Structures are given as C-alpha cells and as structure tokens.
Amino acid sequence: MTGEDFIALCVPASCTLHDALVRLNTTGRGVLLVTAPDGTLLRTLTDGDLRRAALLHTSEQSPISALPAQTPVSIGIDANLAAGMALLDKHQIDHLPVIDKQGRAVDVMLRREMSQRIWLSSPHLGEEETAFVEDAFKTNWIAPLGPHVDGFERELAAYVGVGHAAAVSSGTAAIHLALILLGVKAGDTVFCSSLTFVGSSNPILYCNAQPVFIDSQPESWNMCPQALERAFEWARREGRMPRCVILVNLYGQSADMDAIVAICERYGVPVLEDAAESLGATYKGRASGSFGRIGIFSFNGNKIITTSGGGMLVADDEALVVRARKLSTQAREPAAHYEHTEIGFNYRMSNVLAGIGRGQLRVLDDRVAKRRQVFETYRNALAGSAIEWMPEPAGMRSTRWLSCFTLPGGDLARRQAELLQFLERHSIEARPVWKPMHLQPLYRGAPFFAHESGDVAARLFESGICLPSGSNLTDDQQARVIEQLRRALAQVGA
Ligand SMILES: Cc1ncc(COP(=O)(O)O)c(C=O)c1O
C-alpha cells in the first residue's frame, strides 16, 4: 500500500453512501477510514456496514454520518505487531486503523501483510543440499567428522583461495580457536573493530583478554586505518601491544586491507580476519577472508549461505589448521584411550551440516549476484531520497549481504525508531546498524580509538538501517518493502 493508497482510504463523514461504495470498490481493501477534517478517526466503514444500511433502506445519497454510530477498533502508533494481531483476532477483523497520539488516522495494519512477514535475511536452500544430507544419513555419517566435513573444508578453502580450512560449530567458535592459535592469553590486549556483532569480540573475553576497540571509517564503515595507527602508538607507549587484531568485514564488504595489513605488519601483529558476513566478497579481486593470518566465516541461519549454524577457520599455515581441528575435538591426543594434555572444546561441525554447506557453496555466486541485485533495486527505487547507501569503495566488491543506508539530518534516534516501527507495523523486519561494542554495557571501560572526525561507529548506529536483503526475497516482497519504506521515509522527513 502506497501513501496515495492510504490517503484514498480516508473519507469524510459527509461522503455519501454511494460515493463510499465507489471508493470501497476502487480501493479494494474492504475498509474505509472515516475521518474528521483534522484527521481524527471517527469510524471505519466496511462492505458490511453498507449492506446493513441497504437492508434498512437508507438512501444511497445519505451521508456516512447518518449511519448508526460506531466506536472504531484502532491501535496506537507505538503498539507492536503482536498487539495488533491480538486485536485483529479478538474482533475478528482484517484491518486495524493506526492512530497517532492526537487520535488521527495515520496508517492501517492489514492481516494479509502481518501474516506474510518479510525477513531481514532468511535461509535460502539450493537444490543439492538434500542429496548431501541424504548421503550422510544413508552412510550413517551423523558424526562431527566424516566425508562431507572433509569435502566442505576442501571446497571452501579452494573457493577462498586459502590453503586449509577447519569446519566448526559456529563463527564465534572459529574466532575463539583462532585467538588461542595466535597465542592470546589472560591479560593480553586484543584490538577489534567496534562496529560489529558481539560474536566478534566475545571470544576475547572467553580468553580473559582485554579488548581495545577501533572505530570505523566513513568510506567503508569498516576499521579506520588511522584510528588503528593511533591505537598502536598508544599500545606501544603503554606496553600493551596487542596479541592480534580482529578485523571485521561488515555487511558483506571487505575492510581496507592494503592499509590495515600494512600497519599490522609494521607492528608485527597478526590479523584475525572476521569474514563472518563477507563470504563471496572481494578486495582488489582477492577473496574476503584470505587476508589474515587466520580468517573465519559463519554459516549462521542469516548468513549468505548457511548450515543452520556453523563456522569455518581458514589459514595458509597447515599447522594452525591441524591444531584448530584438534582443539575443536576436545584436544584429543592420538591415543585410543583418550589422552589429554591441554584444554579443548567441542566445536567441530557435524557431517550432516557440512553436507548442507557443500550444497550451499555451489550456489554461493548466485546468492551474491541476487543480493547485489536486491541492493540495486532499492537504490534505484529510492533514487530521489536523501538517504545515503553504504558505500562500496573502488576495488571492493561487496556481496551486499545486507542492504544498509543512513538517514540524513538530526534527531536521529527518534526518527530511526519511528522508521523501524513503521516497517514493523507492516511486518517488515528491518534493524538498526550494529550497536558498536565500545557502547555496549558489557564492554564499558574498554579503550576505544575514534576516527579523527569523531565517533563514526556511533553515528552509523544512530542513523543506519538494514533492510530485508535475502537472496530469496521475491519481487513482490521487495516492492512491498519499497512502498512502505517510501511512506516511512516521508513520515520521518528523509
Ligand atoms: C561479524 C560477525 N562475527 C562473528 C559472528 C559469529 O558467527 P556465529 O553466529 O556463527 O557464531 C557473526 C554472526 O553471527 C558476525 O556477524
């Protein structure tokens, strides 16, 4: 429903029953909103109201105000989807007018939309996953090892162009193992991008190490090389050189690898590349995830390809990957009696899930193409708006895992919340950009190095929105998102 469609639903009480019938017929929603000149909702008018009026022989030329009075069922602008659904069910109706604090009709919730939710990024299976999973069942390889685990590791390493890979239970587990492999111990300092999901940084705390967060640069939304340089200078002064730098590639886009890797090399500190969100992206033609001493990927359900839950650790150094496999299987020594000399973890991926991963890997390039197309469709459709899309710097090819933009102007927190609430009313899942780690209560007190212009990550968080971006988003669904987004942007003045 566009803004014009909504306006067409609103009629004055002086409208004749005949004209109301014509309007009901042309708008085709089964309901009209009868409003006072100041927009206050007076009542709703349905086919049923007109049928009853006809049975009472009310003249077609009578105004709506001549009908028996009715108190409309409506919902406040701040109410959530569940409250709306409960009201629809309670009154057995399919449309729910939304009113603002002054009682003015501002929107309508439709049962049809509410029951067809559009997700931010949902799993999208290809055609080969079932065959791999069936094979795992047929051959009884239902264990956290087996031919599909080996195959998935081989195939993913080849795709990314890295020597070796270890399949594990999650991206977070892969980061935890990587920190251990890089020698992170209790009390050590670890640098990490601030604008990310908490899975990037929680493993620092698993190791009882101390995070130091680095801001983003506006050009890529990823780690700012200049802030990183200042963090290194500080660390040298303080005698707190980091054991490693967790470098995140956000929303499908690589960080500025040339600059960041050069700085880390100069200080002799290894990069742990968190490519959980950027599988399929490239930087100057080279695969995202292949730049760090160790790289990691996530196959969580919302990622560009998924194994329902899972992760991968990759490295050119075979010894590191062999050790990752050992640590992920309780650090078992090669002895029949289960010998252990160090702490291990139960982090290995199962053969069944690896089967799903092998199927998914075969459609990865299609998924990247589709997500990029989803992004372009948004950008073209909203070309007249003042919003700013996440940039894609020259030389970087993003997967556009999520299509993200920022709102212009001020009063951002309120406008961002209003916009998200508007979309939610129409059962469209959109989210703010990640809340940066240096603003999270969990990491209160952790040092943070900002961009020279101020806190870029905080600005992106206040103004940034992630839109439904799945590769299985249909054209109709995306058209629905665009229609509602246009209305929402008009409402918040963007
Ligand atoms: C940037 C980033 N790092 C790490 C993770 C953790 O991955 P997982 O959910 O597979 O543990 C995620 C996502 O989930 C992520 O987006």
Atom in ligand 1 nearest the alpha carbon of residue 299: 10
pLDDT bracket for residue 3 (50, 70, 90) = confident
Task: Assess whether 162 and 32 both reside in one domain.
Answer: no
pLDDT of the residue at 105 = 96
Instruction: Give residue 238's Cα distance to chain centre.
Output: 37
The residue written with tokens 């329902």 in the block is: 308
**Among residues 91, 114, 137, which one ends one of the domains?**
114
Question: What whole-number distance in Å separates Cα of residue 132 and Cα of residue 373?
Answer: 29
Q: Are residues 8 and 86 in the same domain?
A: yes
Domain shared by 385 and 319, yes or no:
no
Residue type, 142: I
121, part of any domain: no
Cα 256 to middle of ligand 1, angstroms? 20
Length of the chain: 494
Q: What is the pLDDT of residues 364-411, one digit of tens each?
A: 999 999 999 999 999 999 998 999 999 999 999 999 999 999 999 999
Distance (Å, rounded) from C-alpha 298 to C-alpha 304? 9
pLDDT in tens, 235-248: 999 999 999 999 99
- The Å distance, Cα 171 to ligand 1 centre, comes to 5
Could you tell which of 121, 170, 172, 313 is best to mutate to test the pocket of ligand 1, judged by most ligand atoms within 8 Å of the CB? Answer: 172
Query: What integer pLDDT is reported at residue 101 of this predicted model?
Result: 93
pLDDT at 103 over 90: yes
At position 56, the amino acid (one-letter code) is L
Ligand 1 — pocket residues by CB below 6 A? 170-172, 196-197, 199-200, 248, 274, 276-277, 298, 300, 311
Mutate to test the pocket of ligand 1, among 297, 298, 401 (most ligand atoms within 8 A of CB): 298
Whether 227 has a pLDDT exceeding 90, the answer reads yes
- From 169, 177, 200, mutation site for ligand 1 pocket: most ligand atoms within 8 A of C-beta: 200
pLDDT tens for each residue of 106-154: 999 999 888 899 999 999 998 899 998 999 898 988 877 899 999 999 9
Ligand 1 centre and the CA of 115: distance in Å? 29
Looking at the domain assignment, is residue 321 inside a domain?
yes
Residue 318 has a pLDDT of 98
How many structural domains is the chain composed of? 3
Whose CA is closest to atom 8 on ligand 1? 171
Indicate whether 352 pLDDT > 90. yes
pLDDT value of position 202 = 98
Residue 485's nearest CA partner among 403, 404, 382 is: 382
* 176 and 211 fall within a common domain: yes
Using the mean position of ligand 1's atoms as its centre, give its distance from the Cα of residue 101 in Å. 40
Q: Are residues 321 and 427 in the same domain?
A: no
pLDDT of residue 143: 78
Check residue 494 and give its pLDDT: 85
- Ligand 1 atom closest to the Cα of residue 249 is 1
Looking at 92, 114, 136, which one is the last position of a domain?
Answer: 114
Judgement on whether residues 318 and 388 belong to the same structural domain of the protein: no
Tell me the per-residue pLDDT of 28-44, one tens digit each, with 9 for 90 and over.
988 999 999 999 999 99
Question: Residue 66 — very low, low, confident or very high, per pLDDT cuts 50/70/90?
Answer: very high
Q: What is the percentage of the chain residues whose pLDDT exceeds 70?
A: 100
pLDDT (tens digit per residue) in 403-423: 999 999 999 999 999 999 999
- Whole-angstrom Cα distance, residue 343 to residue 331? 6
SS3 36: coil
Question: Residue 109 is part of a domain; what is its CATH number?
Answer: 3.10.580.10
Residue 1: per-residue pLDDT: 82
CATH of the domain at 468: 3.90.1150.10
Same domain for 218 and 105: no
Mean pLDDT across 422-426: 95
pLDDT of residue 307: 97
Would you give the distance in Å from CA 315 to the centre of its chain?
27
pLDDT band, very low/low/confident/very high, at 345 (cuts 50, 70, 90):
very high
Give the range of the structural domain holding residue 405, as residue numbers without chain letter.
Answer: 364-492
199 CB-near residues (< 8 Å, 6+ apart): 170, 171, 172, 175, 276, 298
